Amino acid sequence: MTELAAQEVAHLERAVALAQAARDRGDHPFGAVVVAANGAVVEAMNSVVTDHDPTGHAETNAVRASGRRLSDAQLRTATLYTSTEPCAMCAAAIFWAGIPRMVFALSGAALIDLLPAGSDAPSLDLPARELYARASHPVEVVGPVPLPAAVTVHADFWA
Name beta bridge partners: 145.
none
Give yes or no: 59 in active site: yes
The DSSP annotation for 89-150 comes to: HHHHHHHHHT--EEEEEE-HHHHHHHSPTT---------HHHHHTT-SS--EEE-----HHH
* Rg over CA atoms, the chain: 14
Please pick, among 43, 59, 85, 130, the residue that the annotation labels catalytic.
Answer: 59
Distance CA 33, CA 43 (A): 4
Distance CA 147, CA 4 (A): 12
Beta-carbon neighbour count of residue 157 at 10 Å? Answer: 13
Active-site residues: which are they?
Answer: 59
